Amino acid sequence: MSQFAGDYPARIPTPSTRRQRRLEGGEGGRGIERPRSVDGSRGDERDAVTEVFPRERSESINRALNIAIAGTSFLLLSPVLLLIAIAIRLTSRGPIIYAQTRVGLDRRWRDTLALRERRHEDLGGQVFTIFKFRTMRVDAERFSGAVWAQENDPRVTNLGRMLRKFRLDELPQLWNIMRGDMNIVGPRPERPSIVARLREDIAEYRYRHRVRPGLTGLAQINQHYDACLEDVRAKVRWDLQYIKTQDIWLDIRIMLKTVPAVLLKFRGW
């Protein structure tokens, strides 16, 4: 287990623990610590964190494109999906599909009143269930809770390692795209406990939820696996760049670049 993985607790901080953190500023304490921005500076080292707004585009055209591509891909890849399901069943005990809670689109960011009345513990995005082919042992997080995925994760099965290498474990998320939980292109969604911590550590992290999460994105074709918090900041910079410049042609370019990125394994999720 990497040191970075251990930095992210399994539970979302409660209001009491958040208040306690603010009170731990006495002798020997750190006091109130502002989250760092993606450039590494703290909130009080800049006039203000630059707010990020998604570039406007037709939601109906975008959804139609995503449904068409995801639906066609699902049909064409159905034999592959079936073979993977059989292989998982034959090689390890446990379910074929792994369902997990992730934080998705924040539909309220345009509503000033909703922003003002938002609870402090609100993760800033609507949670949804993401689907993946199971690649880990069924008891992988029994004692550790939610931890950051590693490139050479010891909890992963032999078959799961191969599926992860070529990102085949992510194929069930085509169903998430057709349901409207995700887009093909967008920031990768994270687990609630990890989102809670990253929102404290990276000031602009909350802006990632102003668009639907994606199966791939600018961060995935330009950045390697996360090994430390600085790697996450680098990915957030790519995500924010996508949010500010998103359009259909950029989505298509990212989709086309994803294939060599996966096959040549020079970038990471």
**Residue 220 located in a structural domain:** yes
Secondary element (H or E) of residue 132? strand 127-133
Residue 18 lies in a domain: no
Domain count, the chain: 1
> Considering the domain boundaries, does residue 132 fall inside one?
yes
Dihedral over Cα of 124, 121, 239, 219: its sign: negative
For residues 189 and 103, the answer to whether their CB atoms sit within 8 Å is yes
207 belongs to a structural domain: yes
In a domain, residue 65? The reply is yes
Residue 58: helix, strand or coil by DSSP? coil
DSSP string, 4-57: HHHTS-SSPPPHHHHHHHHH--STT-----PPB-TTS-BGGGSS-PPP--PPP-
117 within domain boundaries: yes
Structural domain for 87, as ranges: 55-263
Q: Residue 155: count other Cβ atoms within 10 Å of its Cβ.
A: 16
Q: Are 216 and 248 in contact (CB under 8 A)?
A: no
In a domain, 31, yes or no: no
Residue 46 belongs to a domain: no
pLDDT tens track of the chain, all 269 residues? 444 444 444 434 444 444 444 334 433 433 334 566 666 665 444 444 578 878 778 888 999 999 999 999 999 999 999 999 999 999 999 999 999 999 999 987 666 555 555 544 566 789 999 999 999 988 766 555 556 666 667 788 999 999 998 999 999 999 999 999 999 999 999 999 999 999 999 999 999 999 999 999 999 999 887 878 999 999 999 999 999 999 999 999 999 999 888 877 655 55
| pTM to 2 decimal places | 0.76
